[in-house]
Amino acid sequence: MARISPLSGFPEWLPEGRAVEHAVLETVRRTFELHGFAGIQTRAVEPLEQLLRKGETSKEVYVLRRLQAEESVDAGEDDLDHKALGLHFDLTVPFARYVLENSGRLQFPFKRYQVQSVWRGERPQEGRFREFTQADIDVVGSGALPFHFEVEVPLVMAEVFARLQQFGVPPVRIQVNNRKVAQGFYEAIGLADVEGVLRTIDKLDKIGPERVLATLQQENGASPEQAQSCLDLASISGTDGSIADRVLALGARSELLQEGLEELVTLVEAAQQRVPGTVVADLKIARGLDYYTGSVYETTLVGHEQLGSISSGGRYDSLASDGSATYPGVGMSIGVTRLVSRLLSADLVRASRSVPTAVLVAVTDEQTRADSVAIAAALRRRGIPTDVAPSAAKFGKQIRFADRRGIPFVWFPSPEGHQVKDIRNGEQVDADAQTWEPPAADLWPTVAPTV
C-alpha cells in the first residue's frame, strides 16, 4: 500500500481533540443563543465575483468545478458547471447574500449566529489553516442600526470567552478602536489618504515606529509633524473616559472625531462595568478600519499574543445593499480551529475520555452476548451511553479495553445478579439496568484544564 502523504492546513483531531472542539462549540452556541442570536447555515460556495468583492485575492480562494464538466449547455439552463464558483473564505460574504435573498422574511434587527467551515488558500502555519471552523455573530438592521449593538457584540464575545475558561482557555483581551476616531483625527490634521494611513499604522507592531514614520511620509503624503501625530494617536489606550482627553490633547478637532470618541468611551466604560479589564481601547488597532465604518474589535489570548487575533470584527454601514435598501451590521467572528489548536498544542486542556461511552458491558461468552446487548439497550434507553465488549475475552482483558479508552465503568452480567465496577478505584456493587446510573460527572466526557 502506498504511503499516505498528509495535507498541511487541514486539521483532523484525534477523538480527544474532537471532544475538546465539541465542548468549545457547544459553549459558544449556547452563549450566543442566551443572547437571542438565531442559528443559520449557508451553502459552502458562492459566485467568485461575490467572493472577490471584499478585496480577497484570487490566490486565496478555492475554485469549485465538476471534473467532467460539459463543454456546452442549453441556453437558459441553470447549470453550475458554467458559473464561476468558489468555496467561501469567511462567513460574512455568504451572510450578506443571505440577508438580501431573505430580507422580506427576516425580522430586523436580525441577530444571527453561524458556525461553519471556511476555506482559505494561504500558507499553513501555527494558527493558520486552509480549512477551519469559524463561529460568527452579527446584528443586522434595515436602513439603520443603533450604536448600542456595537457595545453588545463584544460583550457577548467576552462572555463566551469567560465561559470557555472552564476548559482551560486563557483570559482574553478585546482591543477596540473606532473608524470615526481615526478618520476624524487624520482629516483634522490635514491627511487625505485615510485608508493608506490606516494600512501603514496597522504595520506598527511588525515594522516598528521608525519605519512607520518613514512610510507615512514617503507613501501617505504626511509631513514629519503629521506622521508623529499619527504615532502619538496610536500610542493611546485605556478603559475609561481619559482616552478622549488624551486624544483631544493632541490638538485635532472635528465633528467626526468627537462622535467617534463618544462612541469609543461609551463602549469601554460599559465593558469596564460588565467585564472589568477585558475590553481595552487601543488606538493603534487599525486592521479592518479601511472597510469597517464604526467600532472595530481584535481579541488575543493573554500570554499567547504571538498566536494573533482569535476573534475580530466590527461595524459595517453597508453589510449588504440591493441598490434601494441598505442593511448595516455589526459582528464578530471566533477562529474556533485556531483556538482549539492552541489549547491542544500547549496541552492546556484534556478530555476525560476518548469515547462517549460511560459503561462497557462485559461479555461472559459468545453464547450469552445477546444478554449483554439487552443490558446495553436498557441502559441506553435511560440515556446512559453504553457499549458492549467486542469479544468474550478474559474479564481482565475487557477491563483493559475499557481503561485504554477512559470508560469508567464495566458491567458484569450474571444469572445470579449483575454487578458494575468503577475501574478507577476498584469499587464493585450490585446493579440493576433499570435503576442504576453513573454519577452525573461521568455520564458524558468532560473537558477540563490540564492539571
Residue 90 is labelled as binding a ligand: yes
Three-state secondary structure of 13-65? CCHHHHHHHHHHHHHHHHHHHHCCCEECCCCCEEEHHHHHHHCCCHHHCCEEC
Q: Helix-strand-coil percent breakdown of the chain, rounded to 5?
A: 40, 20, 40
CA dihedral for 121, 127, 132, 133, sign (positive or negative) = negative
Q: Which of 307, 426, 412, 308 is nearest to 359 (CA)?
A: 412
Question: Rounded CA gap, 299 and 315, in Å?
Answer: 15
CA atoms within 13 A on the CB side of 411: 30
* Cα dihedral 4→14→132→284 (10° resolution): -120
Phi, psi dihedral angles at 441 (to 5 degrees): -70, -20
* Cα dihedral 194→200→203→208 (10° resolution): -130
Q: Which of 95, 8, 116 is nearest to 46 (CA)?
A: 95
Residue 218 is labelled as binding a ligand: no
Under 8 Å between Cβ of 329 and 291: no
- The alpha helices in 223-282, defined as continuous H runs, are 224-234, 242-248, 255-274
DSSP state of 190: T
Under 8 Å between Cβ of 349 and 449: yes
Residue 291 is labelled as binding a ligand: yes
Residue 350 is labelled as binding a ligand: no
- The alpha helices in 168-236, defined as continuous H runs, are 179-188, 194-201, 204-219, 224-234
384-399 burial: b if 16+ Cβ within 10 Å, else e: bbbbbbeebeeeeebb
Place of cell 498541511: 8
Residue 398 is labelled as binding a ligand: no
- Which residues have CB under 8 Å from 369's CB, separation 6+? 363, 388, 392
Cα separation of the two ends of the chain: 41
Residue 106 is labelled as binding a ligand: no
Residue 287 is labelled as binding a ligand: yes
Residue 113 is labelled as binding a ligand: no
Residue 91 is labelled as binding a ligand: yes
* Cα dihedral 173→291→114→105 (10° resolution): 140
Instruction: Please spell the DSSP secondary structure of 108-137, one letter per residue.
Output: SSEEEEEEEEEE--S--BTTB-SEEEEEEE
Binding-site residue ranges: 90-92, 120, 134, 138, 287, 291-292
Annotation: binding site for L-histidine = 90-92, 120, 134, 138, 287, 291-292
